[in-house]
Amino acid sequence: MRRYRCGVTEGVRSSSDAGVVGIGTDLVDVDRFRTVLQRRPSVADRLFTPHERTYAERAADPAARLAARFAAKEAALKALGYGLGGMRMAEIEVVRDDDGRPELVLHGAARSTAATHGVSRWLVSLSHTDHLAQATVVALGK
């Protein structure tokens, strides 16, 4: 049986000497999000990177994975005290490590904005069902 690195993750362990800049959480109704994506497919282009969409589309129903990633982007905005429109959503990207663990990577102006708040890295955790998607994000400083 495969063993995983459970419990304290590398990110959490090394955060003991890092300041918490902010925390954000968000909950998304997957059914409503799926309806929005079906009615306006261009929304997905605006919100997600090609990599995020490709990964989501490997699932039978991509909506839950996309909703969880949308929740992560909103949670990141909350962590920095911004609302919708505070950063370009596609510049806040959820990537995965070799174990499938999500990580947050910022690009472009979003990356610069986070740096001005003293954020050097992020912790992110996702969960989703067919109906609800949730994300928790912690912004860490140096």
Q: Which residues bind ligand COA (CB under 6 A)?
A: 4, 6, 65, 68, 96, 99-102, 126-128
Q: How far is the CB of 78 from ligand COA (least distance, A)?
A: 18
The nearer residue to ligand COA, 4 or 84, going by C-beta atoms, is 4
**Structure-token pair, residue 63:** 């909506």
The nearer residue to ligand COA, 96 or 131, going by C-beta atoms, is 96
Q: How far is the CB of 112 from ligand COA (least distance, A)?
A: 26
Q: How far is the CB of 142 from ligand COA (least distance, A)?
A: 24
**Structure-token pair, residue 67:** 């909703």
The nearer residue to ligand COA, 14 or 112, going by C-beta atoms, is 14
Q: Exposure of 75 by Cβ count < 10 A (0-12 exposed, 13-18 middle, 19+ buried)?
A: buried
Q: Are 96 and 105 in contact (CB under 8 A)?
A: no
Please report, for residues 16, 46, 68, 139, the alpha-carbon distance to residue 127 in angstroms, rounded to integers and kept in the order given. Answer: 24, 22, 7, 18
The nearer residue to ligand COA, 23 or 59, going by C-beta atoms, is 59
Q: How far is the CB of 49 from ligand COA (least distance, A)?
A: 14
Contacts of 71 (CB under 8 A, 6+ apart): 26, 27, 28, 126, 133, 134, 135
